[in-house]
Structure 1
């Protein structure tokens, strides 16, 4: 007799595509299913329930199918408590540890579902049972695991809730259906993004801007600086290059040696970026350079002047780098992670490297907009699990002025 498991799906599983995906998972992986109960929601806010029996030729195959179903929001009809196993050493997880998605997740402990805190993809789940009245479950990256941590293993006692399609058409976030297209009207889409930013701020939320050097090269830095100054951006995540070119533009009027206004390359302009790094190092850092009057404009100036925090994560190719750049990759990841946890809306501006880095730290419930002239940037972001991203194919030098106009002029 073939091994079987009974799983349940509940919610808006038809129009969100969840039910179809789960049916496809079973068949694609060589299993079969039988729907035992199906109750369809018959109006906009009604939920649908489906219980199905899943079978496979072998227990290992069935376990693989159930794991994939689990990632798509299915749960066993008779859930048991999650299996916990102590980590054998620092930075070492037990074999068969549960690797998280970026979706809201719950673990079952002593018959109760416990919300997993700080959800992000590709982490372990640690359950703490001492030191508080109630158990606490939270994610940990593998290098942060301590010997003896109680780590969730297998798929038993875990519930995942993938986000569903927004059902309120009047919300500013109703346009965030995921996907990328170069054919959507730019002006109307930018207006919707502006509405989303304004709504986030009105509700007391935080907006994180993830920036690449092209923001400066394309002439968009003044408009991003305006958004920081006017309170529409609460934090900046970028690399050494973005900050250097932004400050270079203030000191020399160039970005990577090119005059942004005339597109000309002044004499010795190719040395301006390294001169900039030297000057900021001499000043003792970006904040000190602003306080000393050495920097008088730009995005980094507005961040310091308006107490907007920033994280500059370094890379192997950085010149200098600036004293403010975090050169330890693990330290930089942790700093990005702290930023991501505070963000309610993230706007990624012309940077594949930092978009993927930040996207990896975001739960799927965080609203995400990615703007790039290259549609593959958004495609890669979504392929790595940030399925909630909406992409806009646009030159960043066109996008930022229009966004600033929509927000600041209508304020």
Structure 2
């Protein structure tokens, strides 16, 4: 016995590769397909439309295939309203709930399409009937009685399409290569940043301590001072070693100017944390003249907000570090929702954390000396990321140079 269901695809489904991915998914999962309608756009700005009959010999397999295709933007020709179920307790999800992608999403409620607000991956959708709103809701924020979207009925996903205009993010999309000419790529990223700021866009930086260790800190400080950074996401380590470098000229006890170990330098980062605790905060340390230069100094002087998220391995930590990870997530989300571009530099874990909260339409660049770090970020769902295989100490000075040109 054959089980079948019709789906439709609409948009720039050919040149964006969506149709190919749909066919691949069907065949790889053991299904069959038949194209019943196919209208191809005549010009590059025209949309195409396809109706496809998907069939298998097993109903559970068919439902599994349809679930995968849904996340690629496929939908049934006739869409019913979403099904809702109440959460029985705080942070207890109803069985069969819909789990979000990071793509723009809409839900049909009372014959009206509602755009899901603040979309990010691996969350729930809560409908607020009185306000006719659909909210992307992390599990930690789910409350008893919330009306949760169940299954994929009435849910529409809009995967990113290939831009009509070629840009840095077009020719590099989804690629990681150590053989690409870094200087050319960095100059194009700089131009993209200039254009974005000229349009009023916002740019965030996710930074790891490798920025300090490789002497990329002065360049990042300059980029912040020149107004190209709207928020900084980091951990205790980046801020600590940035301040250590300002106070002692070392990072993890290494003299960055000479490449030699400082006598007793292994204690310098502890002294640095202690000085900030004595001052009361990073801002207070800047105002009191304790900190005179560096990344954190420029953030304070130029009113650039920063979110320092703590971890189990932190020394101190600095008084500005948020040690409750759920509070840190909330602070990150406050700033991430307004960003148009995020540049992640030398920190895999923090990059994955930020990437998990980003919508797929945010332009994302991951810079790391290890190509596997970029691949891991993409494997964890941040498919829009492009990779630049480079040392932070090489990337940032070159980026600052091209931003000045």
Shorter-chain TM-score: what band?
over 0.9
Query: What is residue 339 of structure 1 aligned with on the other side?
Result: 335
Matched residues in 2 for 1:298 and 1:223: separation? 9
Which is worse superposed, 172-181 or 298-307? 172-181
RMSD of the alignment, in Å? Answer: 1.1
TM-score normalised by length of structure 2: 0.98
- C-alpha contact (below 8 Å) 1:92/1:143 kept by paired residues: no
Alignment of 1:225 onto 2:221: yes
Q: Deviations over 1:373-411 (max 9, x none)?
A: 000110000001111111000111111111001112x2x
Query: What is residue 161 of structure 2 aligned with on the other side?
Result: 164
Query: What is residue 276 of structure 1 aligned with on the other side?
Result: 272
Matched residues in 2 for 1:178 and 1:339: separation? 25
Matched residues in 2 for 1:313 and 1:186: separation? 30
Query: What is residue 57 of structure 1 aligned with on the other side?
Result: 57
Q: Cα offset for 1:199?
A: 1.1
Alignment of 1:152 onto 2:143: no
Which is worse superposed, 370-379 or 37-46? 37-46
- C-alpha contact (below 8 Å) 1:172/1:199 kept by paired residues: no
- C-alpha contact (below 8 Å) 1:359/1:386 kept by paired residues: yes
Matched residues in 2 for 1:176 and 1:94: separation? 40
- C-alpha contact (below 8 Å) 2:98/2:152 kept by paired residues: yes
- C-alpha contact (below 8 Å) 1:240/1:312 kept by paired residues: yes
- C-alpha contact (below 8 Å) 1:211/1:242 kept by paired residues: yes
SS of match in other structure, 2:260: coil
Query: What is residue 3 of structure 1 aligned with on the other side?
Result: 3
- C-alpha contact (below 8 Å) 2:160/2:361 kept by paired residues: yes
- C-alpha contact (below 8 Å) 2:125/2:149 kept by paired residues: yes
SS of match in other structure, 1:280: helix
Q: Cα offset for 1:42?
A: 2.5
Q: Cα offset for 1:167?
A: 2.0
Matched residues in 1 for 2:170 and 2:72: separation? 22
Which is worse superposed, 52-61 or 150-159? 52-61
Matched residues in 2 for 1:173 and 1:214: separation? 25
Query: What is residue 70 of structure 1 aligned with on the other side?
Result: 70
Query: What is residue 351 of structure 1 aligned with on the other side?
Result: 347
- C-alpha contact (below 8 Å) 2:231/2:304 kept by paired residues: yes
Alignment of 1:20 onto 2:20: yes
Which residue of 294, 306, 320 maps to 1:324? Answer: 320
Q: Cα offset for 1:59?
A: 2.5
Alignment of 1:246 onto 2:258: no
Q: Cα offset for 1:62?
A: 1.6
TM-score normalised by length of structure 1: 0.97
Q: Deviations over 1:229-264 (max 9, x none)?
A: 110111100000000000000111111111111011
Matched residues in 1 for 2:120 and 2:278: separation? 39
SS of match in other structure, 2:54: strand
Q: Which runs of 5+ in 1 are unaligned?
A: none
SS of match in other structure, 2:272: helix
Matched residues in 2 for 1:389 and 1:176: separation? 9
- C-alpha contact (below 8 Å) 2:169/2:386 kept by paired residues: no
The 4+ residue runs of structure 1 with deviation greater than 3 A are: 171-176
Alignment of 1:309 onto 2:296: no
Q: Cα offset for 1:57?
A: 2.1
Shift in alpha-carbon separation, 1:176–1:343, aligned structure 2, 3 A: farther
Q: Cα offset for 1:340?
A: 1.4
Q: Cα offset for 1:54?
A: 1.2
- C-alpha contact (below 8 Å) 2:71/2:101 kept by paired residues: yes
Query: What is residue 385 of structure 2 aligned with on the other side?
Result: 389
Q: Deviations over 1:118-158 (max 9, x none)?
A: 0100000001111x3xx100101101100010100111001
Matched residues in 2 for 1:37 and 1:246: separation? 60
SS of match in other structure, 1:301: helix
SS of match in other structure, 2:337: helix
Q: Cα offset for 1:172?
A: 5.4
SS of match in other structure, 2:219: helix
Matched residues in 1 for 2:64 and 2:106: separation? 20
Matched residues in 1 for 2:34 and 2:89: separation? 43
Q: Which runs of 5+ in 2 are unaligned?
A: none
- C-alpha contact (below 8 Å) 2:197/2:228 kept by paired residues: yes
Query: What is residue 399 of structure 1 aligned with on the other side?
Result: 395
- C-alpha contact (below 8 Å) 1:121/1:361 kept by paired residues: yes
